[in-house]
Amino acid sequence: MKTLQRGLSLALLFVIQTTFGATDIVTTIQMIRDGETMVSSDGAFELGFFGTGKSTNRYVGLWYRNIKVRRVVWVANREAPLTGPGGVLKVVEPGFLVLLNDTTGTAVWSSKKSRTVQNPIAQLLDSGNLVVRDANDDRPENFLWQSFDHPTDTRLPGMKLGRNYVTGIETYLTSWKSDDDPSPGDFITQLDPTGYPQVLLKKDTKIQFRLGPWNGFGFSGGPEERKDATYMLRLVMTEKEVYLLEESISTSVITVAVVNQSGYVQRWTWVSATQSWVMYANLPADSCDQYKLCGAYATCTTASPFCRCLDRFVPKDPEGWTRSDRSNGCIRRSNLSCQGDIFLKYSGIQLPDSRNSRYVKISTLEDCKAECLKDCSCMAYTQLDRSKGTGCLFWFEDLSDMKDRPKQGDDIYIRMSFSEEAETVANSKGRKTDITVATSLTSVVIIILISLSLFLYIRKRLNYQNLRRKGQHLGSSEKNSELPLFGLSVILRATDHFSIDNKLGEGGFGPVYKGILEHGQEIAVKRLSKDSMQGLDEFKNEIIFISKLRHRNLVRLLGGCIQGDENMLIYEYMPNKSLDMILFDQTKNMLLDWQKRFNIINGIARGLLYLHQDSQLQIIHRDLKTSNILLDSDMNPKISDFGMARCFQGTETEAKTRRVVGTYGYMPPEYAIDGLFSTKSDVFSFGVIVLEIVSGMRNRGFSHNADNLNLLGHAWTLYKEGRSLELVDPGLAEPYYFSEMRRTIHVGLLCAQKKPEDRPSMSTAVFMLINEGVLPEAKQPGFFTEREVTVTQRPSSTNAANATNEITITMLEGR
């Protein structure tokens, strides 16, 4: 009975096939001869015999049937060619697909059989997968064999690249030997699940290039996905298998991934308009992609120098490093002590080689940290799939093969000695008392030394002012001043005699010019306007402060030029000018994506923290605003203009001035109204800047409907209604960053609260920005309607102090 049934169904299949021409199924009573083909039922794929180049070798391969430029995407007998045309492909019992040399009757290739079935057939599926199965069972898990488990150099959509722990099958790509020879070449591409999955390109067994690890969305630091991509990559991890799957979004687009004979992983897409295959991605893409080029704890940047130690790391072999031998990598500048170690965040990094990493399903960043802290050999952690928080990845050895990928990189938190903490989050809890005592003793000594040298310096300057009044020239002692002095002729040459073309803008006390020194260094020259008394004060102030300060988020003073009537300060040049010029410009603001903006916010915060705490002078800037934030070539922020800065000493925490200086829109109420200032005034200005950066709008001059709210008021209203994200500049709306955006807005509002005592210190603000955790509820910000500002701007009282307020403010507003 069974036999009859079987005979009938086979006959039926045969009838169907002969009626419709090409066949997608081969049974035990059929065969495919050289010259005949199998075609998938939708007509997309064709399987048949082909030859290469001049050789008479014949192979069985698979290609897209309707594409004129033939691309063989799979080869059955890549290692065992038929030497001539007499080949046949057939299915034999109990379940093999075999390729026979018809004249000799010998098999040159066969599919492996996993089990015995009654009625084996081979079928070419619409996905391009050639399968051997039982005629009555088309469930994929019951296939006897499938070509998708044995790819050659091409990955088709729907193919799993990875490992199946149950069957033991590993699926990977191997390049062809040459254009004419499909036999296995030197390069393989595989998904390596060791530690945490990443894609490796190997030459024999040596790793050439690494993509990943998988960060929950894509490969860390991998090439940017095209907006018009027609496929989606997915990483699947179960107890039984780990694989990477490419799913087509649009079936009308034909796209494949290939490893070529010279070791490149490429994506090729068929473009029907031009009737050609176009390469859309090619990896390795740049020299940084060379595996472990830079050694441990270094990152590779495509701009030279290629290898850079991470911040707070130094070359392990400094001599070798200067000889451009970077293989030894870098080490921490302060040793770890295990107890009390901290973690510092590094962003925009392609995560290190994950073969020594361990994945743990933990949902919050705080828990990742706590877990890593417990184990002294845990060197770093990162949170995968940040928005969903699906887990943490921990590294237990030196971190290697990292790259700077500002856009596609990830955050990694690296273990550091607690002594590195000072610059990031000072005065955080949990320090040992004796250390605190030691530190504060040192601080006292340093403060005394600095005050002493400041005193001497100011005295020298005052002497100089006296000399100047008497019309005398610069004494030789002046040349020994700590501030390097430039000759006037040098500056004139550099700025082309202050040519109008070189003018960059107006600074606090006069025009600013661009200049180029003889050896090519670019500088910015701030020239004190003659006969500006206030300008002279600010000029002095600036010298006093900035020559003492050094931080990567403060603009650097290179020197001064004081000759004849000229008083000038020379700074490093900032190619991207000031933040307001980019942020509030409709077209330029596209240069600032969310990551850049977040980086700018953090940079300003760190610069301020340094001024407030770490510089040991406790400086209040008093005129923070977007036009005083300069941007370097990488869009790193640098705080500038210390003309109005004030220094606090000893226990003083708040001061009162009768002369209110600053800029409306950035001034807190207690200062604008009562002239009270403290570090918390800067915190307020910082809060305003944060909201301006997030929204791309100015606090002053902001208008929204007719509700009379300024940006602060508007932000607060949205926040109260749980709609904070509506504040975000529409161009930035990337769901991936929503939680970071929400937190940033929240921190901005906390900083801009009405009462100074409610505002966080800068160290707390820095901490809140980079750490996830519950933030306190923000209270009403100071000056949240335009009307409020107007009222305080025109004081009704007629006393002298208030009159001064008005004049100063009016004068400064225009800047």
Ligand X SMILES: *[C@@H]1O[C@H](CO)[C@@H](O)[C@H](O)[C@H]1NC(C)=O
Helices (H) and strands (E) in the chain, counts: 15, 45
Q: Which residue from 248, 261, 334, 417 is in contact with ligand X, where contact means CB under 6 A?
A: 261
Which runs of consecutive H residues, i.e. helices, occur in 594-654? 594-609
- Choose one: 13-21, 186-194, 260-268, 349-357; the region binding ligand X (CB under 6 A): 260-268
Considering beta carbons, is residue 264 or 486 the nearer one to ligand X? 264
Q: Are strands 391-395 and 646-647 parallel, antiparallel or unpaired?
A: unpaired
Contact predicate 570/557, CB 8 Å: yes
Q: Are 645 and 628 in contact (CB under 8 A)?
A: no
181-200: contacts with ligand X (CB under 6 A): none
Burial-class residue 696 by CB neighbours within 10 Å (0-12, 13-18, 19+). Answer: buried
- In the complex, least distance from residue 177 CB atom to ligand X, rounded to whole angstroms: 10
For ligand X, which stretch binds (CB under 6 A), given 99-107, 159-167, 257-265, 561-569?
A: 257-265
Side chain identity at 259, as an amino acid letter? V
Quote the least distance from Cβ 778 to ligand X, whole Å: 53
Instruction: Pick the binder of ligand X from 262, 274, 324, 587 (CB under 6 A).
Output: 262
Using the structure block, give the residue that is written with the tokens 């027609």: 230
Q: In the complex with ligand X, which residue's Cβ is closer, 56 or 282?
A: 282
Note if 289 is an active site residue.
no
Site for ligand X in 319-358 (CB under 6 A): none
Picking from 517, 528, 510, the residue whose alpha carbon sits closest to that of residue 495 is: 517
Count of residues interacting with ligand X (CB under 6 A) = 5
For residues 282 and 708, which CB has a smaller minimum distance to ligand X in the complex? 282
The DSSP code for 224 is P
- Residues 336, 337, 342, 344, Cα dihedral to 10°: 0
Q: Please, are residues 282 and 269 in contact by the beta-carbon 8 Å criterion?
A: no
Q: Which of residues 7-46 bind ligand X (CB under 6 A)?
A: none
The piece of 209-217, 255-263, 362-370, 783-791 that touches ligand X (CB under 6 A) is 255-263
Stretch that binds ligand X, among 259-267, 648-656, 695-703, 760-768 (CB under 6 A): 259-267
Q: Which stretch binds ligand X (CB under 6 A): 258-266, 365-373, 410-418, 723-731?
A: 258-266
Nearer to ligand X, 277 or 359 (CB): 277
Using the minimum distance from each CB to ligand X, give the nearer residue, 261 or 771: 261
CB of 176 to ligand X, least distance (A): 9
710, 782 in Cβ contact below 8 A? no
What is the residue type of 347? S
CB of 261 to ligand X, least distance (A): 4
Name the nearest CA neighbour of 33 among 83, 100, 80, 79. Answer: 100
CA–CA distance, 728 with 566 (Å, rounded to integer) = 45
Query: Least Å distance between CB 376 and ligand X?
Result: 44
- Active-site residue among 192, 623, 641, 729? 623
Backbone angles phi, psi at 554, to 5 degrees: -120, 140
The one-letter code for the residue type at 483 is L
Q: Note whether 534 binds ligand X by CB under 6 A.
A: no
Which residues 725-784 are close enough to bind ligand X by CB under 6 A?
none
Q: Are 640 and 630 in contact (CB under 8 A)?
A: yes
Nearer to ligand X, 183 or 780 (CB): 183
Task: Tell me how many degrees the CA angle 416-418-421 measures, rounded to the nearest 5.
Answer: 90
Please, how many CA atoms are within 13 Å of residue 250, restricted to the half-sphere of its CB? Answer: 8
In eight-state DSSP terms, residue 237 is: E
CA distances from 733 to 316, 594, 736 (A): 42, 8, 9
- Pick between residue 45 and residue 209 the one whose CB is nearest to ligand X: 209
Q: Which stretch binds ligand X (CB under 6 A): 11-19, 113-121, 261-269, 642-650?
A: 261-269
Amino acid at position 810, single letter: T
Binding part of the chain for ligand X, among 23-31, 122-130, 256-264, 360-368 by CB under 6 A, reads 256-264
Buried b (16+ CB within 10 A) or exposed e, 551-560: bebbbbbbbb
Output the smallest distance, CB 172 to ligand X, in A: 18
DSSP-derived 3-state class of residue 137: coil
Site string for ligand X, 681-700 (x = CB under 6 A): --------------------
Helix (H, G, I), strand (E, B) or coil at 458: helix
The residue (of 282 and 453) whose beta carbon lies closer to ligand X is: 282
Q: How far is the CB of 265 from ligand X (least distance, A)?
A: 9
Comparing CB distances to ligand X, the nearer of 282 and 653 is 282
Least Å distance between CB 262 and ligand X? 4
Name the residue nearer to ligand X (CB basis): 154 or 615.
154
Residue showing tokens 């069974």: 2
Using CB under 6 A as the binding rule, the residues of this chain from 273 to 292 that contact ligand X are: 282
Q: How far is the CB of 260 from ligand X (least distance, A)?
A: 4
Residues 492-531: x where in contact with ligand X by CB under 6 A, - otherwise, as a string: ----------------------------------------
d(CA 117, CA 113): 10
Task: Write down the least CB distance from residue 720 to ligand X, Å.
Answer: 55
CA distance 8 to 27: 13
How crowded is residue 322: how many other Cβ atoms within 10 Å of its Cβ? 9
Among 41, 183, 260, 792, binds ligand X (CB under 6 A): 260
In the complex with ligand X, the residue whose CB is nearer, 209 or 666, is 209
Conformation bin of residue 168: beta by default, left when phi > 0, alpha when psi is -120 to 50: left
Show the binding pattern over residues 206-245: x = contacts ligand X (CB under 6 A), - = does not: ----------------------------------------
Minimum distance of ligand X from residue 155's CB (angstroms):
16
Give every CB contact of residue 357 below 8 A, 6+ residues apart in sequence. Answer: 195, 196, 213, 393, 394, 395, 396
Which tokens is 477 given? 């002692």
**CB atoms closer than 10 angstroms to residue 798:** 7
Binds ligand X by CB under 6 A, chosen from 49, 143, 264, 594: 264
Decide if 365 contacts 372 (C-beta within 8 A).
no
Cβ distance to ligand X smaller for residue 269 or 553:
269
142 Cβ contact list (under 8 Å, min separation 6) = 133, 134
Minimum separation from the CB atom of position 178 to ligand X (A) = 7
Q: Which residues bind ligand X (CB under 6 A)?
A: 260-262, 264, 282
**Residues acting as catalytic residues:** 623
